[in-house]
Amino acid sequence: MSDVGFIGVGKIGNPMCANVIKGGHRVVVHDLVEEHAANLIELGAIWAETPAQVASQSEVVLTSLPGPPEVTAVLRGADGILDGAEPGLVCFDLSTNLPSTVKMLAERAAERGVVFHDSPVSNGVQGAIDATLAVMVGGEQASFEKYKPVLECIGNNVFHMGELGMGALTKIINNMVSISSIQLLVEATVIAEAAGLEAERAYEVMSVASAQSYVGNMPTLLERDFDDPSFFLKWAAKDVSLAVQVAREQGIPSPMASAASDMLNRAKNRGHDLKSPMATLLSTEEDAGVSN
């Protein structure tokens, strides 16, 4: 059993933390909204008022946060993890982050004797509930091996991807492919509609033809079931923008990811940010003058 800290228990962090508790570990928890942790406290978690208090009571800390700014603030900000950490503390950041940010944070953490890992997850809220997440870890091998049993509480596929930043990079390119594929499907649907082809009939063909690997999302697209998703459009927009930023940092063109990023940001700016990433269909139809 390990003394585990968990910071960020929102939509995906909450079930991950619950599974760590169910795995038999002692867990100290913190979130900006204390009510988010109510069910976890019932399961036996200990509440902490600040990230620093979490760190001071833990040997390993897991963070599940919206993105790079929040991770940076929780680690380095006032009453952050580094303010409460003792040398030897190990951190696994489960958030989607930039490799360059990961390396900067790891350097700052190392100055305080803290070992930092990028450890993003994939497979969504249901995967978090079922403990079937894929976990992609970058960083020191020894501490990864030591705390792999903790990570196995949240995911059944835990990978060590190599040096710092490689976990983050793996998550970014994974999301680039999956989210960009959805945007390509959206675009194809609107083209079909605009040209007079019933999208339902197109789906019948694509589901058994060469496009079938991408069209599993088509029924949801056709039903326009975009509300109350497990993964918000604004998160997809952020994730694809990270892929575009990595490409820019490497001097590599990214026309497909850039186009997907533009589609997502247009939809986000029109008020669809809390809908499914497939809600780009709505803004794309608006731009095309297609009504449905």
pLDDT given at position 189: 86
Count of structural domains within the chain: 2
What CATH number does the domain containing 185 carry? 1.10.1040.10
Q: Are residues 67 and 124 in the same domain?
A: yes
Q: Just list the catalytic residues.
A: 171
My answer on whether 12 and 103 are in the same domain is: yes
CA 209 from centre of chain: 31
Last residue of a domain, one of 122, 140, 162: 162
- d(CA 284, CA 227) in angstroms, rounded, equals 17
- 174 and 95 co-located in one domain: no
Q: Give 3-state DSSP helix, strand, coil % of the chain, rounded to 5.
A: 55, 15, 30
**Same domain as 195, residue 61:** no
208: left (phi over 0), alpha (psi -120 to 50) or beta: alpha
Same domain, 17 and 153: yes
Out of 162, 197, 223, a domain closes at 162
Q: Is 153 in the same domain as 184? A: no
Strand-pair category, 133-138 with 121-122: antiparallel
CATH of the domain at 120: 3.40.50.720
Q: Are residues 11 and 65 in the same domain?
A: yes
Kindly state the tokens that stand for 81: 């993890």
Burial of 250 (0-12, 13-18, 19+ CB in 10 A): exposed
Tell me, yes or no, whether 157 and 221 share the same domain.
Answer: no
156 and 216 inside one domain: no
List the domain range (segments joined by +) for residue 189.
170-288
Shared domain for 280 and 142, answered yes or no, is no
The neighbouring-strand residues paired with 112 are: none
What is the rounded CA–CA span in Å between residue 274 and residue 233? Answer: 6
Per-residue pLDDT of the chain (292 residues; tens, 9 = 90+): 899 999 999 999 999 999 999 999 999 999 999 999 999 999 999 999 999 999 999 999 999 999 999 999 999 999 999 999 999 999 999 999 999 999 999 999 999 999 999 999 999 999 999 999 999 999 999 999 999 999 999 999 999 999 999 999 999 999 888 888 888 888 888 888 888 889 899 889 988 987 777 667 778 888 898 999 988 999 999 999 998 998 888 888 888 889 999 999 999 999 999 999 999 999 999 999 987 7
Question: Given 117, 142, 162, which residue is the final one in a domain?
Answer: 162
135 with 185, same domain: the answer is no
Is residue 196 located within the same domain as residue 245?
yes
Residue 214, pLDDT score: 65
